[in-house]
Amino acid sequence: TTMKRVLVLAGDGIGPEVVREALRVIDWIDRRRHVPFDVQQGEVGGAAIDAHGTPLADATMALAQEADAVLLGAVGGPKWDALPFAQRPERGLLRLRKELQLYANLRPATVFAPLVDASTLKPEIVRGLDLMIVRELTGGIYFGEPRGIELLPDGQRRGINTQVYTTSEIHRVGRVAFDLARKRGSKVCSADKANVMESGRLWREEIQKLRDESYSDVELEHMYADAVAMELLRRPNRFDVIVTDNLFGDILSDEAAMMTGSLGMLPSASLGDQRADGGRKALYEPVHGSAPDIAGKDLANPIATILSLSMMLRWSFDMHTEADLIEQAVEGVLASGTRTGDIMAPGMARVSTTVMGDSILHEL
């Protein structure tokens, strides 16, 4: 087995704490499963601003380019909130996405059986929920030009952003969604606002064309993004894979995540193109943010980050056995009643970040 080169960017807030537990799991794989990992560490977000004066230093960007995969904690916090637009912690993350060309963001929304009551939705609505949102991540209004704020002759200001999508941008993320659907329930729902946006009209036509030409075995339905926001609440289990653009994906994937009631459990993967050698650029991160209020207190739930590592094993290294082991260990720990504060329930045992990590390692 070749060395797996992983760049770890812990970031801000609870980032370092949750990443630390994932590093212990990497260490376990290295020693017990005899798969050698080369782990480098770097700064991103506020931590990078403090250390290097920029949310992502060029040297760190170079490390990310060389790595087989990046594991990220979280970015942002009140300390950096007053910074101007182009210097904020988020820009570090956006630069990683753009320069690594991580165009497909996989956001699973899964309800773990023992946590079904953590949702604000009724258990019968979310029980067994297992849907995957594939969000376009390097295009659309996040990166389109022209953009900016201009001063008008009459003293007013005008803010501009541009949503742009090309055929090939739509097809490549569409392919990820259809390929994924084939391994799951063979159903894709594509979300857009084709009724009011031409870019959405193009999105709809191109996704349909792709399906008809290359994925006619997969069932495709188109819905307006506002209807998806509703339907997620009404009957979430009707969905298998949802594919959508950068901005709708941002909102719909967060809605779906919150529906599970356990944000601290949810991982994500951001994938680039498959290379000739089989590898692909990829970044893995928990869905939750940097949670400044509980940072440094050993209270955060490390499971989302540990499951992000397990997504890395699957998607970047084809290590399905190890990924299965990790996921089973997490389920085992949950079944035994061990809980961090965010998923605490009556009768369970409340533990710290570190003890949750201990428990998962013990289970492994």
- Name the residues annotated as catalytic: 142, 193, 226, 250, 254
Residue 196 found at the interface with ligand IPM (CB under 6 A): yes
Secondary structure letter of residue 293 according to DSSP: G
Residues whose CB is less than 8 angstroms from the CB of residue 321 and which lie 6 or more positions away in sequence, other chains included: none
- Tell me which residues touch its own copies (CB under 8 A): 85, 88, 90, 94, 120-122, 125, 141-142, 144, 147-149, 152, 156-168, 193, 195-203, 206, 225-227, 229-230, 233-234, 247-248, 250-252, 254-255, 257-259, 263
Do residues 54 and 335 make contact, with C-beta atoms less than 8 angstroms apart? no
For the CB of residue 207, give the shortest distance to ligand IPM in the complex, in Å: 19
Reported residue count of the chain is: 364
Tokens of 234: 């009404």
User: Does 195 engage in binding with ligand IPM (CB under 6 A)?
Assistant: yes
Contact status: 212 vs ligand IPM (CB under 6 A): no
Using the minimum distance from each CB to ligand IPM, give the nearer residue, 17 or 250.
Answer: 250
Least distance (Å) between residue 300 CB and ligand IPM: 17
Query: Using CA of residue 345, residue 351, residue 356, residue 362, what is the dihedral sign?
Result: negative
The residue sitting closest to ligand IPM, measured at its beta carbon, is 90
Is 80 annotated for ligand binding? yes
By CB under 6 A, residue 198 contacts ligand IPM: no
Tokens 């309800």 locate to 111
Stretch that binds ligand IPM, among 88-96, 114-122, 167-175, 347-355 (CB under 6 A): 88-96
Decide: helix, strand or coil at residue 245: coil
DSSP codes joined into one string, 338-353: EE-GGG--TTSEE--H
Please identify, using beta-carbon distances, which residue of 239 and 248 lies nearer to ligand IPM. Answer: 248
Burial 61-74 (b: 16+ CB within 10 A, else e): bebbeebbbbbbbb
Kindly tell me which of 162 and 195 has the beta carbon lying closer to ligand IPM: 195
Considering only 47-55, 57-65, 87-95, 114-122, which stretch makes contact with ligand IPM by CB under 6 A? 87-95
Taking CB under 6 A as the rule, does residue 81 contact ligand IPM?
Answer: no
The number of angstroms, rounded, from the C-alpha of 363 to the middle of its chain's C-alpha atoms is 25
- Interacting positions 244-263 with ligand IPM (CB under 6 A): 250
Per-residue tokens: 264: 């601290």
Q: Strands 280-286, 69-74: parallel, antiparallel or unpaired by DSSP?
A: parallel
